[in-house]
Structure 1
């Protein structure tokens, strides 16, 4: 039978995999993963993502009866070489939307066409293709609500998850004389120092693990998602973001698991928590939409006025950045979030907004410095969502929060972590403080601090920023660019 090469990328699953389903209709499948070491710096995976990828590949390889072929190098050279050695006349993959990936894949398609090899790409990552959602005048949306309600929901529904039948593999005896076949371990994705111990407690990196998280979320949390998603101490979110990024589950599987559980889209949207969760899947779509239509957003301000924003880049700001990265700012909710990030590879979404606002607005540090730190530390680091999220917080993005909306981390902590449970989990040195002072230990009387066993500056740092003064400084900085052309 004709052999069909399936190039796995950010779709590391068997179920609802359009590329694999299409290949199964052709003949025997040659499943391939290539660790592309030619990607530009902004796309090169951070440490936490590499950890997740290692275990995702192990899960996929097991599901493929250990038939996954692993290579490292330039796919523009490896894919044609594989086709030649294995006599493949068909190559299938699911699309990626990063600018460098689009360019790379276009070159590969052209090369394969010149070799009389069919190259077919499919949508395995998004509910709606970004090129198909446009305003009536043919231009892309820049605001989320009309994008989602008018551009997406008024289109045909997302495709239903496809069945992936039993795969017949190509002969394992195929040799690749010009290529070095590797093992997953050869990719050296795992960290050399053991900072990832907590990762194993939090993440079952497998296709079944993704399905289990989704099922648990639907039965236990989704009805209260609109309220509980903001409370970092409770399990109120789906925790599916890394699985969606690496494709251990598709957004289509997620969308229809929710919709079918509540007997259709109209019924689902009537339940507030469910409707809000579906709209959050829409936000993920919007991030990819912006990346596709405005592919500079990862490194450049969407709003060009911010090109002259007076970011701080002196010695003090570098020290502040280090304090922020290590969770030693002296602001408890910020420190808890940054420590959660380092220990688990994840940070609660409400807290992401709080720590982002503190960095960009209270410390006046360029949002790109935060984006890079998140990129290295998050298991769900995603070009589209990471860039769009940081520009939203900074006020420089499409449909962003206005710059003058500055989160007060004390008030945010008191509102969403009333008993201080989240802070106490990641800042245990503050555990004996009364709830009244858990989000502002500097206000606690000396006797209260002594009873809690805390000496500020020794057991826990003094705040690195005066929240009121730095808020005014941020607003003054914003005023200096408001009239810029």
Structure 2
């Protein structure tokens, strides 16, 4: 029998939507009256730069969520309660103030989130209240896809095959979480009927999203999805080329839950079987689904192996001696600022710093360059991406960096090293992406934009380029850097 609580509280976190929200569905099923809250967590906000775009994204998304709640209830009093501070203190106190028998939320396997939730749960239990958590931001949770020996997978392809064998319409179906909102949403106490704070009111720089094509909130996610679906049949061929409009651009919406992962996976899975699509289009849908499965894979890696937050997934790789000292610091700064002298790497890094977005192919190229051309610890790059990326997600960011550094599960072999010039020639053949973000080389012929140091003096002069002045020489020579990397990783080879 489904428990019944006279009053409940739903704690929104990384699930800023009403539709297909697992915790909201269960709260509405089990409560006679429901309050809604979001906490601006000072333990997170305190570590962010003042111009962090994600704060404004969250504020705008919460404003839309608040409007949706009030509209669904048909009463302006029934909106979102917002607080700022530490959830460990705020949630138990608010639950007691509202006389809520249970707090509902969607789960999170990040180590800091687990510690936070455990503290909230203990406090609630001491007050005679419950914390009820539900799976929402991934299809399969930590122990739902295991090997035949009931251990977690550490290689993606077998995990993906097991994931596909397990998937059924049940796992992809939507929760009717918008039902009963009108009758069950409670009116906020009068003191809580405040507008959603702006980024400026939280102490962050306003207008950080100005000029960026980054629609926020539930409506923004719907617009991006509607824009992507006609392009889905070309996804496999277009997604690797940063100058093309290939990806869905939904990653930030998945991160903050303004779109449901179940909806996206269902669309991809059903599209794989569409009889009105040709084989290439169905394969494109399968490729998109594979990218969504990678998310689940990295989530379960983090859940089962939390040491990856600070150390290599493969312990032997912690013995690698990374470059340090003033020269390494100068190289790291050049990488962060997009002035390595390798135009594709610089374009990628400038795209990141100017927009908070980086194309997935370029994330691999930029990461490989930092680790295997510059010899700098992958954790420094991971931390930079964590600070800059709008869609930063600990599991995916850590997994991607450890993949590039060859320290992670199912990573590329340590002796595979991306050549930034050949990557540029292959994936930005006309140098269009480079020309957008590295205008210093835009007047060169397209073929020369990949490696301007190979241009003849007359070609450089005609393009207005003075190497070492208007655009830097390469900070390292790739072939020599490759040999140093092979030697650095060579200590891992078993002794004969």
SS at match of 1:27: strand
For the 8 Å contact 2:441–2:465, the answer to whether it is kept is yes
Counterparts of 1:186 and 1:196, CA distance in 2: 11
SS at match of 2:424: helix
Deviation of residue 14 (structure 1)? Answer: 0.9
- Give the aligned length: 478
SS at match of 1:35: strand
Counterparts of 2:203 and 2:49, CA distance in 1: 15
Q: 1:98 is matched with which residue: 98, 110, 115? A: 110
Does residue 48 (structure 1) correspond to residue 49 (structure 2)? The answer is no
Does residue 356 (structure 1) correspond to residue 372 (structure 2)? The answer is no
Deviation of residue 414 (structure 1)? Answer: 0.4
Counterparts of 2:258 and 2:203, CA distance in 1: 19
For the 8 Å contact 1:71–1:182, the answer to whether it is kept is no
Change (3 A) 1:39 1:341: closer
Residue range with higher mean Cα deviation, 164-173 or 361-370: 164-173
Q: Deviations over 1:79-123 (max 9, x none)?
A: 111111111112110111101211221232233233332332111
Pairs within 5 Å for 1:347-386: 347-386=358-397
For the 8 Å contact 2:15–2:21, the answer to whether it is kept is yes
Match of 2:73 in 1: none
Deviation of residue 125 (structure 1)? Answer: 0.6
RMSD, matched Cα: 2.6
Match of 1:68 in 2: 80
Deviation of residue 228 (structure 1)? Answer: 1.0
The alignment's TM-score, normalised by the length of structure 1, stands at 0.92
The alignment's TM-score, normalised by the length of structure 2, stands at 0.90
Match of 2:288 in 1: 277
SS at match of 2:84: strand
Match of 1:8 in 2: 12
Pairs within 5 Å for 1:193-208: 196-199=209-212, 202-208=213-219
Change (3 A) 1:134 1:308: same
Change (3 A) 1:305 1:261: closer
Deviation of residue 69 (structure 1)? Answer: 1.0
For the 8 Å contact 2:429–2:446, the answer to whether it is kept is yes
SS at match of 1:2: strand
Listed as ranges, the gaps of 5+ residues in structure 2 are: 71-75
Counterparts of 2:206 and 2:457, CA distance in 1: 39
Deviation of residue 290 (structure 1)? Answer: 0.4
For the 8 Å contact 2:172–2:265, the answer to whether it is kept is no
Change (3 A) 1:306 1:424: same
Does residue 173 (structure 1) correspond to residue 189 (structure 2)? The answer is yes
Q: Deviations over 1:417-436 (max 9, x none)?
A: 01000000101121110122
Change (3 A) 1:192 1:216: closer
For the 8 Å contact 2:239–2:246, the answer to whether it is kept is yes
Counterparts of 2:189 and 2:481, CA distance in 1: 65
Match of 1:446 in 2: 457
Change (3 A) 1:186 1:337: closer
Counterparts of 1:247 and 1:392, CA distance in 2: 25
Change (3 A) 1:317 1:268: farther
Does residue 121 (structure 1) correspond to residue 133 (structure 2)? The answer is yes
For the 8 Å contact 1:198–1:343, the answer to whether it is kept is no
Pairs within 5 Å for 1:22-33: 22-25=26-29, 26-33=31-38
Deviation of residue 36 (structure 1)? Answer: 2.0
Change (3 A) 1:440 1:76: same
